[in-house]
């Protein structure tokens, strides 16, 4: 039987903007891909391994914004959810996040992000 991720822990890491807690959820050789206005599907932003992923989360979680995890779907080898964010000036960002799991850790993640503009 496959080991499942602790989704409540994942939610608390995202909503609490906790970089260390977030990194504990990733496999050492994890990959993270970002698709957004600056990184279209043909030129995705890619992070390989926990150190690169750490740099990404240190940047994102240092921003003055709230994160709210919603609409999660948790399966044996996959997790998906929406990450609804808001800056103090009211600007909103929505992320659709899909994660492939291996042994209860995030192995591969794809984030698709859109902003109010």
Taking the CA atoms of residue 73, residue 74, residue 80 and residue 86 in that order, the dihedral angle to the nearest 10 degrees is 70
Residue 86 domain flag: yes
Domain contains 1: no
Which domain CATH number covers 104? 3.10.450.50
Q: Which pTM value belongs to this model?
A: 0.91
How is residue 26 written in tokens?
Answer: 């990733």
User: Is 70 a domain residue?
Assistant: yes
Would residue 22 count as lying in a domain?
yes
Arithmetic mean of pLDDT over the chain:
94
Within a domain: 2: no
How close are the terminal C-alpha atoms of the chain, in Å?
A: 45
Residue 92 is assigned to a structural domain of this protein: yes
pLDDT at 2 over 70: no
Domain count, the chain: 1
Is residue 108 assigned to a domain? yes
Residue 19 token pair: 């970089």
Q: Is residue 59 a part of any domain in this protein? A: yes
Full domain range(s) for residue 50: 7-115
| 9-63 pLDDT tens trace | 999 999 999 999 999 999 999 999 999 999 999 999 999 999 999 999 999 999 9
């Amino acid at each position: 039987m496959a080991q499942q991720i602790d989704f409540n822990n994942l939610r608390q890491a995202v909503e609490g903007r906790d970089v260390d807690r977030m990194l504990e959820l990733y496999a050492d050789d994890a990959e993270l891909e970002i698709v957004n206005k600056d990184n279209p599907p043909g030129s995705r932003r890619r992070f390989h391994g926990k150190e690169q992923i750490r740099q990404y989360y240190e940047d994102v979680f240092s921003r003055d914004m709230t994160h709210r995890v919603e609409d999660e779907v948790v399966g044996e080898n996959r997790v998906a959810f929406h990450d609804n964010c808001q800056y103090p000036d009211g600007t909103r960002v929505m992320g659709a996040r899909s994660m492939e799991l291996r042994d209860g850790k995030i192995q591969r993640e794809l984030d698709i992000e859109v902003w109010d503009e």
